[in-house]
Amino acid sequence: MSQRFAFIQECLDRKKKIADICIEFGISEKTGYQTLKRFKESGLEGLKDRSHAVLQHPFRITEEVQSRILELKRAHPQYGAQLIHDWLVQQEPDRHWPAASSIGDFLKRRGLVCKRPSRSRNRETVQLNSHLTKATEPNLVWTADFKGEFRLRAGAGVYCYPLTVMDLKTRFVLCVKALDTTGVREAKREFVRIFSEYGLPRVIRTDNGVPFAQHNGLGRLGSLGFWWVRLGIKPEHIRPATPSENGAHERFHKTLKAAATKPSSSSLRQQQERFDEFLIEYNTHRPHRSLLNRRPPGEFYITSSRTYPKKLPELTYPDGSEMRLVSSSGAIKWRNRSIILSTNIMGDHVGITEAEGDRYSVHYGSLQLGWIMAESGDFKPEVRWTESD
């Protein structure tokens, strides 16, 4: 301030040229004339420091947009800044919206963002899931699981077991069903409904829990898995204790839990109503970061061309195969020997075909169950899908 005032005094004395005075004070002529102008217009007040902040903020969030953001956040508390940004762009793609980072800063100032606890990342090399089918198109791979059970508010001992089914390619959720058990009968009834509405997939991927797997069963398959085989569906299990191999489904469960289970409802019926509302929002409105342009899953999913048959298809085998009926004990007769396979296929026929290496292959439709050694008659399990896609 004192330097500027001294500069003004020198200029007013008119003993030197303003250009020479500017050189003495180490400023440019432009700055000198500007300082002199400010003094003539405002006096000593014009010599004080001024803010360098811009007068207008072209990317400032307007009050109207702030209201939109807050309204969306209130309607969907689980939406983060990126999801809110994607939803706004989806609704009005031609309008300029603030960046997700700006929306995040705005929500933080309003105290609407919870700080997530830091997690230590596993730096180990991730193994490729080469044993799993790649979802290259809709209805090639469905994933299914039971989300962890939770207690309803109806009273002690009343639990909900949500069955969830998703198309892996499009992330379209085909089912969120509130069940009171993980039993095979209830799960099968729901899959009949799903197959009737959406058709049949090629593969259904699950974990190793009930009712999708039977630990002491042939190939870990239970009656539900063998029913899928009859329909031409390949059952596919992830490796035990490796939920990351079904990561997309696990991530969906996290979203479902936050949006539709806290707090829980008072009855299965009320809980199902919340699941149904969430399903519509998730499939048709909610942007998905894994899809093209972050669009909702419903814009990409199409029903399967493989319709659910009214009658269970017959098991077919190559010419020359010998047929054997599976007894109620799960065994077949082969050259005066009893070979135990699985009680889950009792009443059905398996096909036995001579193969190389002095052995016979045992098939249940497109599923190879194992080998019968010609010399000893022993059965060696080796369950694998043999149908070529």
Q: What is the pLDDT along the chain (389 residues), one digit of tens a residue?
A: 788 888 888 888 777 888 888 888 888 888 888 888 888 888 877 777 766 655 555 557 888 888 888 888 888 888 888 888 888 888 888 888 888 888 888 888 888 876 665 554 443 334 445 589 999 999 999 999 999 899 998 666 789 999 999 999 999 999 999 999 999 999 999 999 999 999 999 999 999 999 999 988 999 999 999 999 999 999 999 998 898 999 999 999 999 999 999 899 999 999 999 999 999 999 999 999 889 889 999 999 999 999 999 999 999 998 989 999 999 999 999 988 999 999 999 999 999 999 988 999 999 999 999 999 998 999 999 999 987 54
Cα–chain center distance at 102: 25
- CA-angle at 385, arms to 380 and 386, nearest 5°: 95
Rounded CA-CA distance 253/233 in Å is: 24
Strand partners, 338: 333
Rounded CA-CA distance 277/260 in Å is: 9
- What is the enclosing helix (H) or strand (E) of 172? none
Rounded CA-CA distance 51/385 in Å is: 73
Under a CB-based contact definition with an 8 Å cutoff, are residues 364 and 315 in contact?
yes
Rounded CA-CA distance 73/231 in Å is: 44
Rounded CA-CA distance 86/94 in Å is: 13
Largest Cα–Cα distance in the chain? 128
Distinct helix (H) and strand (E) counts, the chain: 10, 13
* Residue 350, CB-side half-sphere exposure with 13 Å CA sphere: 29
pTM of this prediction?
0.75
Computed on alpha carbons and rounded to an integer, the radius of gyration of the chain in Å comes to: 35
